[in-house]
Structure 1
Amino acid sequence: MATERITFTGPKGVELAARLDLPEGPHLATALFAHCFTCSKDGLAARRISARLAAMGIAVLRFDFTGLGQSKGAFEDTSFSSNVDDLIAAYEYLGERNMAPALLIGHSLGGAAVLKAAARLPNVRAVVTLGAPFDPAHVTHSFAQSLPEISAKGQAEVNLGGRPFTVSKAFVEDVQGATLAPEIGKLNAALLVMHVPRDEVVSIDNAAQIFIAAKHPKSFVTLDNADHLITRGEDAEYAADIIATWADRYLALKSPAPPPGAPEGIVRVSEADPDGFLQDVNAGPHHHALADEPLAYGGTNRGMSPYGFLSAGLGACTSMTIRMYARRKGWPLESVSVDIYHDKVHAQDAGTGAAEKVDTWHRRIRLDGALSDEQRQRLLEIADKCPVHRTLERSSTVVTELL
């Protein structure tokens, strides 16, 4: 995934900072991501979801609202209405680049903003909310104790997520006067509502109200055991996978064929978590997996290790080769299973006489069916003709180039 750092001009002439996450392959569609209240475009949920969508060919613009993150302007001069205006400005910026977004994604108050804005954005075909409030005024619960001071003095400094923010009376009045029901009711796009069942910031009742107010097509998915900010990597990964799969139906993505000369396509591995070892593995346009390291080695154990993938390749190729041969011969092979164990042994143990270690794969094959001893022995010999087996036994060359 390539990321382009950009700025664009907001509705009041303020410079807004953004990141445009671009697919490494063909660009099939564009999405616009609105972050949560007082958060930024670089939050874990925003980064993870953007990375997953980019991996399936959807470019994602995630930006900081006025006065937040790297965007210019003062937070105390903003309101819910100004957030909606910022969102529309981001949409128009993408339109000027011939990348008008068809998918809107909003987290928390950003979810309320995308619902408010969607009716004014003609190209939008799908909308996703994560932990969004049905009533935008719900956000005032996070600084309820300061409301009397804000009303009396016109503004007050409040602590939100461990950081100080100045909230104005105009912000409170604007968010209290905002409603979403009319916009949700006339939403001309598919809607995916995602929410945490035990969300202590925005209760799940809000998600139910959004869902009931919307017309079909609409979907509801719970983010079990997540927190409101979706701070755990596994929760963000789950949300990203659901959004990517759901969006494919409504954006009508046309996945390209593998490049000429690569009949099985390209295997692209992209870093999914720069703080750990998690990797996105995309084999052509249709197949995705995760690679990781075990917890003991600093990983999160959310995918097979690199050697695990090598072992899987050997096991799968062995089973397929045996099945093809038995099918051609018409033998009564009911099922095949292959256990693979990888180890490193000293080369002298392998009979080479050298001191360095070499890789050894132990393969145990189970054949079920009314096979004769001769047939079993022949299938064991056929296993050694598996192409991956032959590749591992031969010396290989890796040609590397820097892009």
Structure 2
Amino acid sequence: MIGFRMLARAALAASLLIAGGAAMAAEKTVEFTVDGQTVVGTLALPAGVASPPAVLLLHGFTGSRDELEIPAVKEGIFRRAARIWAAQGIASLRIDFRGNGDSGGAFADMTLDGQVKDALAALDFLAAEGAVDKDRIALVGWSMGGAVGAITAGRTKQKLTSVSAWAPGTNMPASIALLFGADLVKQGLASGDKPVTAKLPWGAEVSLKSGFFRSLYVTDPVAEIARYKGPLLVAVGTKDDVVFPQPIAGQVLLDNHDGPEELWVRPMDHVFNAFDGVDMVDELIAKTGSFITAATPPAVLAADYETKGVTENNLPVFYQKLKDQLHFALAWDPARGDFPQWRATARAKLWDLLIQPDDSTPFDARVVEEQDRGDYVARRIVLSITGNSRVAALLLVPKGRGPFPAALVLHDHGGKFDIGKEKMVRPWGDDARLASAQAWVDRYYSGNFIGDDLARRGYVVLATDALGWGDRQNNGPESQQALASNLFNLGSSLAGTIAVEDVRAARYLASLPEVDKGRVAAIGFSMGAFRAWQVAALTDAVTAGVAVNWMATLDGLMVPGNNQLKGQSAFNMLHPGMFRWFDYPDAAAIAAPKPMLFYAGETDPLFPVASVRQAFASMERVWADAGAPDRFAAKVWPNAHIFRAEEQSEAFDWLGRQFGRVE
């Protein structure tokens, strides 16, 4: 073992004095995804420090990113550490593990390996974030977070400058057995997917599945730390009655670590005597800050030119500067005063961005075949969707005397191109296509063809194929980028083509003699939701809309791991230059004051819920300013990227009320 000389007491005292008088660090909430679930964190950046070193903070069992609040000062221990270290020029990222705090997922599904995944992803996020020095990142973990930190240190591809373990769990099965009792651990190991509930010594109750208990036995922080060769600080308390006996329990990490190290022992409990005041907490924070500083190499003098142009997520290295330059110049602002004038100007700009002219080609529609479906008739038709394309479509017409309300049902993306309109309306005459469509609606729509459900409710329904789907199928997922590029080269746009065709479909639907032109809705899920609010913004042929699981802010979507950064599917919804003028909710708000309903999923991995709520709040303000607050509705459902039967029923009931119908 190699000893690690630390800074003198004078330096420790000075760091506390600096922290006490410094301004609070600039903090912002950040998000990234792990296994399709959102991890939420707080990034604290020191003022006036370019490319600072950074530290990742990992909370303990049942904790959250601010950690335990110190009663004397009403401040979480990790939040306090972040503030103090920021005053010393150290940035920090503190996260909520999935199932904890604001992050997605359920606590009952938490496992030790799952938390390690979160920590590894957090280090990758921090290294790619751009505001910190990716070559000077340290790690701090407390209690179970200390165990996670030790494992993470052994596995991460990022080179850590130091690791600090505060009262780390070094024998997790024993620690959990102490908290829960051996009998409950045995019960948990055998519980399968059914959670067991335990009461913790401090009164809280938690429920966990067998995956958690099993993970304690297959992942060993003591074995994993052997792969980490950098500086290691282990801080333990002789009064700790959760991880004990100390300092022996802490020493075991050092015994299996080969590198600079220090064991720091004080007469403190598992929470660093936080209930007695801040003295011991502050001494620990100062000690750790000094350790981090001593282990952190000086910043490498940056070249005055780019030595790397593109991040690991295929963003330009200057992407944050570009984001900072986006002010959404045509977003609604009450200071503009004249809402109808703003709406007309904004709609005209959105049309310009389509790189695709409006089209007045006669539809020249004809019926190819029909199928009687009891309360309604299904028709396969062909029509000139634009002057460039003549396409097949599915039209459902209720029996009886009209005119009827109508619904333009817009299919999703899903990476499934053999069907398009058939995701919305039950196909016939092709067994392979029917089987494909049924499997799809079973997966995402609770087995329902929502177009047929709407027809049974008395709606005329139209479904078409976007370019690349169904009868207009492309050459697979990897072909989307080439198709978009070729359309750009031809003076057009893939997203613009889809948008104009949707407008034309809405106009055709509204023109039918069976349709009440004042009651025409656009409805869609996923990419279909994007198309629904977009067509509602572009044309008044649509008088209401239902958009399910496609709405958030640009800032919330342009984060590592999101589909927006991957190309391919994004081209179907990409209007070049749009974000100089509008954010997504700004563009959707052009539809105001029409009735519009937006749904989202709490655990939808594609649309981080914090960004979704921000977008919903923005649109709600626009509808209020337009004098129609009762015509805007939004709801976050407790599910992922899916449009379930319960949501469908509630959405269609809402639409019926907007159209003055009693279902």
* Other-structure match for 2:147: 112
* Other-structure match for 1:65: 97
Q: Work out which of the two has the higher radius of gyration on C-alpha atoms and give 1 or 2.
A: 2
Aligned match of 1:20 in 35, 39, 43? 43
Cα–Cα, structure 1 residues 7 and 159, in superposed 2: closer, same or farther, change >3 Å?
Answer: farther
C-alpha distance in structure 1 between counterparts of 2:186 and 2:222, whole Å: 28
Structure 1 residue 212 corresponds to structure 2 residue 252: no
C-alpha distance in structure 2 between counterparts of 1:237 and 1:56, whole Å: 14
Structure 1 residue 143 corresponds to structure 2 residue 180: yes
Q: Return the letter of the residue paired with 1:12.
A: D
Query: What RMSD over aligned residues (CA atoms) do the two structures have, in Å?
Result: 2.1
CA deviations 1:63-91 (Å, max 9, x no partner) are 11001111111011110000000001111
For structure 2, the residue ranges without an aligned partner over 5 or more in a row are 1-23, 68-75, 302-663
* Other-structure match for 1:329: none
Q: CA deviation at 1:56?
A: 0.6
Structure 1 residue 174 corresponds to structure 2 residue 206: no
* Other-structure match for 1:86: 118
C-alpha distance in structure 1 between counterparts of 2:216 and 2:49, whole Å: 40
**Within 5 A, what are the aligned runs for 1:288-327?**
none
- Give me the TM-score of the superposition, normalised by structure 2: 0.37
Q: CA deviation at 1:24?
A: 1.6
Aligned match of 1:41 in 42, 53, 65? 65
Q: Is the 8 A contact 1:202 1:228 kept in 2?
A: no
Cα–Cα, structure 1 residues 217 and 148, in superposed 2: closer, same or farther, change >3 Å?
Answer: closer
* Other-structure match for 1:250: 295
Cα–Cα, structure 1 residues 17 and 209, in superposed 2: closer, same or farther, change >3 Å?
Answer: same
Q: Is the 8 A contact 2:167 2:236 kept in 1?
A: yes
C-alpha distance in structure 1 between counterparts of 2:48 and 2:120, whole Å: 27
Q: Secondary structure at the match of 1:65?
A: coil
Aligned pairs, how many?
A: 256
Q: Secondary structure at the match of 2:122?
A: helix
Q: Secondary structure at the match of 1:113?
A: helix
Aligned match of 1:102 in 137, 140, 143? 137
Q: CA deviation at 1:92?
A: 1.3
* Other-structure match for 1:367: none
Q: CA deviation at 1:218?
A: 0.3
Q: CA deviation at 1:15?
A: 1.2
* Other-structure match for 2:640: none
For structure 1, the residue ranges without an aligned partner over 5 or more in a row are 257-403
| Richer in strand (by share) | 1
* Other-structure match for 1:29: 53
Q: Secondary structure at the match of 1:183?
A: helix
C-alpha distance in structure 2 between counterparts of 1:230 and 1:92, whole Å: 33
Cα–Cα, structure 1 residues 254 and 56, in superposed 2: closer, same or farther, change >3 Å?
Answer: farther
C-alpha distance in structure 1 between counterparts of 2:85 and 2:49, whole Å: 12
Q: CA deviation at 1:164?
A: 2.0
Q: Return the letter of the residue paired with 2:160.
A: V
CA deviations 1:225-273 (Å, max 9, x no partner) are 34436524212111111011121111034699xxxxxxxxxxxxxxxxx
Q: Is the 8 A contact 2:272 2:280 kept in 1?
A: no
Percent identity between matched residues is 23
Structure 1 residue 238 corresponds to structure 2 residue 275: no
Cα–Cα, structure 1 residues 226 and 153, in superposed 2: closer, same or farther, change >3 Å?
Answer: closer
Q: Secondary structure at the match of 1:53?
A: helix
Aligned match of 1:134 in 170, 183, 207? 170
Q: Is the 8 A contact 1:109 1:139 kept in 2?
A: no
Q: Secondary structure at the match of 2:264?
A: strand
Aligned match of 1:153 in 181, 188, 191? 191
* Other-structure match for 1:51: 83
* Other-structure match for 2:428: none
Q: Secondary structure at the match of 1:153?
A: coil
Q: Return the letter of the residue paired with 2:111.
A: S
Q: Is the 8 A contact 1:200 1:228 kept in 2?
A: no
C-alpha distance in structure 2 between counterparts of 1:96 and 1:24, whole Å: 20
Structure 1 residue 197 corresponds to structure 2 residue 238: yes
C-alpha distance in structure 1 between counterparts of 2:218 and 2:159, whole Å: 27
Q: Is the 8 A contact 1:38 1:68 kept in 2?
A: yes
C-alpha distance in structure 2 between counterparts of 1:239 and 1:82, whole Å: 28
Cα–Cα, structure 1 residues 214 and 230, in superposed 2: closer, same or farther, change >3 Å?
Answer: farther
CA deviations 1:327-373 (Å, max 9, x no partner) are xxxxxxxxxxxxxxxxxxxxxxxxxxxxxxxxxxxxxxxxxxxxxxx
Q: Is the 8 A contact 1:110 1:132 kept in 2?
A: yes
- Give me the TM-score of the superposition, normalised by structure 1: 0.60
C-alpha distance in structure 2 between counterparts of 1:19 and 1:210, whole Å: 29
Q: Secondary structure at the match of 2:184?
A: helix
CA deviations 1:13-35 (Å, max 9, x no partner) are 11112111111231430110001
C-alpha distance in structure 1 between counterparts of 2:157 and 2:172, whole Å: 20
* Other-structure match for 1:222: 265
C-alpha distance in structure 1 between counterparts of 2:215 and 2:148, whole Å: 13
Q: Secondary structure at the match of 2:34?
A: coil
Aligned match of 2:159 in 123, 135, 139? 123
Q: Return the letter of the residue paired with 1:64.
A: D
CA deviations 1:103-132 (Å, max 9, x no partner) are 100000101111111132322110000000
Q: Return the letter of the residue paired with 2:61.
A: F
Q: Return the letter of the residue paired with 2:171.
A: D
Q: CA deviation at 1:135?
A: 2.2
